[in-house]
Amino acid sequence: DTKNAKLRQEDALRKIQEDCMAADDQERQANEKAEEYEKDAAEAVEKKQSLESQIQLDENEEKALMDSMRALAARVRGCEKEANGLRSIVDPLNVGLKGRVCADLHRTSRDQGREGAGGA
């Protein structure tokens, strides 16, 4: 009877040892998984920070481009005003010049007509 009890005790001890080894193995695997998750989480945080930085840079670049576009639009408006001012000076000059050219042509053709009539 003691022999059976001793065998049962040895079996129970072996079972406990196997359970302990299995528990140790599960704990090791869980720790490995936890380390993987921590590593993945750290990489995700780094990527998030990188993306946030890139978004900030893109927003700053967009703002700078918008500021440049507004400045260029203001310069264009200034150039248009200046061109309109120059037109207000040049247009009357052109009208006067055209009038003089027409008068000169008329006078020249009239003079040529007289010369032609007088010479015949």
- pLDDT confidence of residue 119: 54
Flag whether the pTM goes above 0.85.
no
The rounded distance, in Å, linking the Cα atoms of 93 and 23 is 103
Taking the chain (120 residues) in consecutive chunks of 10 residues, what is each chunk's mean pLDDT? 89 96 97 98 97 97 97 96 90 79 81 67
Q: Where are the domains of the chain?
A: 1-88
The rounded distance, in Å, linking the Cα atoms of 55 and 92 is 55
- pLDDT confidence of residue 116: 65
| Sign of the Cα pseudo-torsion (39, 40, 43, 48, in order) | negative
The rounded distance, in Å, linking the Cα atoms of 45 and 28 is 26
